[in-house]
Structure 1
């Protein structure tokens, strides 16, 4: 989801920024006509503002609601924080998103009255992302958990590895492959956990799968 939202933001904001710059500086695109004469400017930036507002509000709602839902579940047998290096790799992406929003927000906010609302919205979303990064870090909210039905990884998104319909579990370097009867294959990153917590989590997973139906790689036993 994050990659898709980021992709949409880039393909909308870069042309919008170029157009705003061209309008402000009255760049000529054709003889005796400059960008200031482009029609429907207000409608264009109202549409861009509405689109950016919609996708970012959805992302804000999703990331906070996922964290809240995860930490309200009381059926987890075990819950451990992700490895520090894993948190760092994920927080880099969060910081890049925040800086991207702030940079474009500043550009639009000071570039022209036409784009000021868009700029302010992006600045707010960038600051919200920074608050999210600091809050997650201070509360150690990214985690891995196991209950009787699934292995759950919470970082920038929520990933579930359910035990129902599971056919095979195999370890390959720093990944555990979950293969299902529907031919679906999911990969759980072991490097998201410390060595100590890897053993603990695998042990709890093995306690809750049906060994009569699931083939387990000997490297996991």
Structure 2
């Protein structure tokens, strides 16, 4: 959104040939417009690709099940949330892709980027759901949660683990705090999950707090 919104605004200005008072010219008179849209498309592509690579890598790693002391699918409620947000995201990207070129043909490059990552999001969702790839796991070094987002919490440098109804918090030296939502865990796996957490940490050095309320 950080780049897609300015791209959309530029497309509107160019498509409707609006005046730019600060430059004392019409939007269509901006020099090198095709190159500007191409640069914006490249930035959009790089930012989207970084996120795409991160979540595909997370999915690959969490499905190396033999390397985990605990590994299970995420909870059904979490899957539903993943479906809703991923579909919504893909629809928005596809709409932006359509809107760019509907407003001005000069925005064809950003439009293609939006369509590509809209399709990628749906492929990722179908692959993750049908293959039961959205999972949470514990290795001897970290906790990894991978669905549409990727959460990695290492045991190295850990000072405290706080378990609440909403989230599991990992606090490190320097007050760095990472967390993941407890809705990732199926109720039938919670006891096994937390027992495996305990077995991987030095409980004399890491404070473990559990809040039931």
Gaps of 5+ in 1: 1-6
Paired with 2:169 and 2:28, the residues of 1 have a C-alpha distance of 56
Residue in structure 1 matched with residue 73 of structure 2 by the alignment = 81
1:14 to 8, 25, 29: 8
User: TM-score scaled by structure 1?
Assistant: 0.81
**1:29, distance to aligned residue in structure 2 (A):** 6.0
Are 1:163 and 2:182 counterparts? no
Paired with 1:71 and 1:17, the residues of 2 have a C-alpha distance of 42
User: TM-score scaled by structure 2?
Assistant: 0.84
Are 1:192 and 2:184 counterparts? yes
Q: Which has the higher contact order (CA 8 A, sep 6+)?
A: 2
2:29 to 31, 37, 44: 37
Runs of 4+ in 1 over 4 A off after TM superposition: 27-30
Residue in structure 1 matched with residue 168 of structure 2 by the alignment = 176
Check the 8 A contact 2:128/2:147 in 1, yes or no.
no
Residue in structure 1 matched with residue 85 of structure 2 by the alignment = 93
SS at match of 1:140: coil
Residues 24-61 of structure 1: CA deviation (Å, up to 9, x unaligned): xxx5667xx75433433223222222222222233333
1:128 to 93, 110, 120: 120
Residues 147-188 of structure 1: CA deviation (Å, up to 9, x unaligned): 222222112232222222222333333323323344322333
SS at match of 1:217: strand
Paired with 1:111 and 1:11, the residues of 2 have a C-alpha distance of 14
Gaps of 5+ in 2: none
Alignment RMSD, CA only?
A: 2.6
Residues 92-139 of structure 1: CA deviation (Å, up to 9, x unaligned): 222222112111111223444322233233212211211111111111
